[in-house]
Structure 1
Amino acid sequence: MIIWLNGAFGAGKTTAARELTDLLPGSRLFEPELAGASLRATLPKERLAQVDDVSELPSWRRLVVDTAAALLSEIPGPLIVPMTLLDQEHRDEIFGGLASRGIAVRHFLLHLEETFLRARIDRRTTTDGAATRHWCLTHLPHYTDALPWLTRDAHTLDTHLHTPRRTAEALADAIGRDEGTCPIVQTPPPRTETLAAGMLLFDDRDRVLLVDPTYKPGWEFPGGIVEPGEPPARAALREVAEELGLRLPHQPDLLIVDWEPPHPTRPGGLRLLFDGRRLTPDQIHAIRLPRDELRAWRFTTEDEARTLLSPNRHDRLHWALQARTRGRPLNLEAGVPVGT
């Protein structure tokens, strides 16, 4: 199990984490900053200059997941992780990666109002120096912006009157009550090429429906991996029923087949998109999401989807809409039509 202590820079996460290890038998402190130090020592300065913080690197997020899994294969745990995590997509990527390895996460937010937080930063950084103080203070607006999703996702503890020991005791009590649980359903990452089927569903303005997974960054089409022996169109219908609570009354038409090439972090495979046609107002009203997989859904135009979908998924959407207009399916390789 992972106990993730989140909060603003300077909120006292690490000191509370050290106290918490004394209260939870078998627990160990894991500081992802060590993975960041390794990347800073290894990557070329040109790559590091492209990001404001090492946590913005996809390699850092993969290292955190892989290192946590490796540590938990050696010790009983739990691992206590004091790490600021303010980007919800980074949260999805890390927590989803842990879930795919069968590792449960308890998410806690150590919160202080800004006045108390600034005072704590001033006290802490008298010895750490002006650079550390500047770093903590300049990231306060980002923390404030993240509070709406953080307080929904994590169990929040107001710690402004607490010593580190008292904060650790409050955390131990909350853990004993099963607070902070992040229920995420995620299968292990595939090791070979996969076949996946997605469904495009539309409203009366021909906007397409997208969903926001809890276990990975970015938005997606309803759909998923085709099970062994399962027809792809039936798999797309099954996924719509499981993810949206809708049972479509018709067989969907194929729009695109896209071959996704292998990548160091994913095996690639065939990606199919089907036309689920327009939903009625009653169907839209009946949409229900599994909260351990999806947090939101929305209808979007192709242009709006550009900021929500990964580039390869947006390419698929573009050509699927083209195929829908032309009335015939298209064959793609890496998002580009072939044989047309």
Structure 2
Amino acid sequence: MIVWLNGAFGAGKTSAARELIDLIPGSTLYDPELIGGTLRLLLPEKRLGEITDYQELPSWRRLVVDTAAALLMETGGPLVTPMTLLRQDYRDEIFGALAARGIPVRHVLLSVEETILRERIEHREEVPGDPEASALVRRWCLDHLAAYRAALPWLTRDAHVLDIGNAPPREVAERVAAAVGEGAGACGIVQTPEPTRETVAAGVLLFDERDRVLLVDPTYKPGWEFPGGVVESGEPPTRAALREVAEELGVDLGAAGGLRLLVVDWEPPRPPGFGGLRLLFDGGALPATDAGRLLLPAAELRGWRFVTEDEASVLLPAERFARLHWALRARAQGRAIDLEAGEPVSAAD
């Protein structure tokens, strides 16, 4: 198990974490900031110049999960992880990958009123014996308060919130230990095992009366997605598509003959992913009455919406948007399009 202490920079997460390992038997302090520092030493200057924060590095997010799994093998856990995580897509990627490995997370937000937080930051000696470096760290913490405020709507929905005010670290740790002991902060994310080989996945495009397409927001991976999922061994892709729509949305699309293939896309392997075939089907119009009764599994999907193609370009990762782009053109032309890595195989397309 991982107890993830989230909150604004300067909220006192690390101090509380050091106290917390004394209160949770067998626990170990795990600070992913050390991974960020190591990557700064290992990566080329050119790559580092392309980012403003090491959390932007896919390698950091992957190593956070891999290192946690390795530490749990060594220590048996739990791990106490003080780490500010303000982007929901990063939360989905990291917590989803942990869930795929069967590692449960208790997400606790240490909430401090901004006036108290600013005063605390201003009076902290961040780098003992180095006033100039301390001033730079304090400024960095204050500059990130706006990002913290912007993240609060999703953070307060996702995490167990503890209003800690000016409480000392030991008291904060005691409150966290009590909350975790009662099961607070549990993240009920669907455990989708990481693939060990190429996969075949089938998605379905559903449309409203304005011809907008339905997208869903997974809890276990970044970016929005089409309803659908991985085709199981021995299962026809059309049947898999119907099954996934029923499981994810509570919508029965009837027989497989009602689906029309729009695109077949070969996704190349990109380590750690194995790639495979991705199929998109036209599921037709979803009546407003059916849309109003959509039932989302909370452990898998947190929301849905109908969007235009332009709106989808913001919500979907690049490879999924390319698939949608060509699927909409295939739908308009009344024929399927063959893609490789999101690009048509035929020059005519």
Give me the TM-score of the superposition, normalised by structure 1: 0.98
Structure 1, gaps ≥5 residues long:
none
Change (3 A) 1:125 1:182: same
Query: Residue 9 of structure 1 corresponds to which residue in structure 2?
Result: 9
1:35-66 Cα offsets, whole Å, 9 max, x none, are 11110000011111111111111110000000
Query: Residue 235 of structure 1 corresponds to which residue in structure 2?
Result: 240
Distance between the aligned counterparts of 2:192 and 2:111, measured in 1?
32
Query: Residue 273 of structure 1 corresponds to which residue in structure 2?
Result: 280
More off after superposition, 240-249 vs 119-128? 119-128
Equivalent residue runs for 1:67-106 within 5 Å: 67-106=67-106
Equivalent residue runs for 1:178-193 within 5 Å: 178-193=183-198
Equivalent residue runs for 1:119-158 within 5 Å: 119-125=119-125, 129-158=134-163
Give the alignment partner of residue 309 of structure 1, picking from 306, 316, 320: 316
Query: Residue 168 of structure 1 corresponds to which residue in structure 2?
Result: 173
Q: What letter corresponds to residue 276 of structure 2 in structure 1?
A: G
Percent identical pairs in the alignment equals 65
1:74 match: secondary structure: helix
1:2-50 Cα offsets, whole Å, 9 max, x none, are 0000000000000000000000110000000111111000001111111
1:108-162 Cα offsets, whole Å, 9 max, x none, are 0001010000111112137551101101000000001101100000001111131
More off after superposition, 267-276 vs 124-133? 124-133
Query: Residue 25 of structure 2 corresponds to which residue in structure 1?
Result: 25
Distance between the aligned counterparts of 2:281 and 2:153, measured in 1?
35
Give the superposition deviation at 1:249. Answer: 2.5
Distance between the aligned counterparts of 2:173 and 2:231, measured in 1?
45
1:315-337 Cα offsets, whole Å, 9 max, x none, are 11011111111111111111111
Query: Residue 323 of structure 1 corresponds to which residue in structure 2?
Result: 330
Q: What letter corresponds to residue 291 of structure 2 in structure 1?
A: I
Checking the alignment, whether the CA contact within 8 Å between 1:5 and 1:109 is kept in structure 2 is yes
Checking the alignment, whether the CA contact within 8 Å between 1:258 and 1:335 is kept in structure 2 is yes
Give the alignment partner of residue 306 of structure 2, picking from 283, 290, 299: 299
Structure 2, gaps ≥5 residues long:
129-133
Checking the alignment, whether the CA contact within 8 Å between 1:273 and 1:320 is kept in structure 2 is yes
Distance between the aligned counterparts of 2:39 and 2:4, measured in 1?
21
Distance between the aligned counterparts of 2:312 and 2:80, measured in 1?
37
Distance between the aligned counterparts of 1:231 and 1:151, measured in 2?
41
2:297 match: secondary structure: coil
Q: What letter corresponds to residue 41 of structure 2 in structure 1?
A: A
Checking the alignment, whether the CA contact within 8 Å between 2:330 and 2:337 is kept in structure 1 is yes
2:209 match: secondary structure: coil
Query: Residue 118 of structure 1 corresponds to which residue in structure 2?
Result: 118
Query: Residue 36 of structure 1 corresponds to which residue in structure 2?
Result: 36
1:208 aligns with 2:213: yes
Distance between the aligned counterparts of 1:262 and 1:171, measured in 2?
41
Distance between the aligned counterparts of 2:319 and 2:158, measured in 1?
28
Distance between the aligned counterparts of 1:207 and 1:321, measured in 2?
10
Checking the alignment, whether the CA contact within 8 Å between 2:61 and 2:90 is kept in structure 1 is yes
Change (3 A) 1:73 1:127: closer
Aligned-residue CA RMSD (Å) = 1.0
Q: What letter corresponds to residue 85 of structure 1 in structure 2?
A: L
Change (3 A) 1:237 1:131: same
- The aligned length equals 340
Distance between the aligned counterparts of 2:14 and 2:127, measured in 1?
16
Checking the alignment, whether the CA contact within 8 Å between 1:125 and 1:132 is kept in structure 2 is no
Query: Runs ≥4 in structure 1, deviation > 6 angstroms?
Result: none
Distance between the aligned counterparts of 2:191 and 2:307, measured in 1?
26
Q: What letter corresponds to residue 120 of structure 1 in structure 2?
A: R
Query: Residue 50 of structure 2 corresponds to which residue in structure 1?
Result: 50
Change (3 A) 1:338 1:127: closer
Distance between the aligned counterparts of 2:58 and 2:191, measured in 1?
19
Distance between the aligned counterparts of 2:270 and 2:200, measured in 1?
15
Give the alignment partner of residue 290 of structure 1, picking from 292, 297, 301: 297
Give me the TM-score of the superposition, normalised by structure 2: 0.96
Query: Residue 131 of structure 2 corresponds to which residue in structure 1?
Result: none
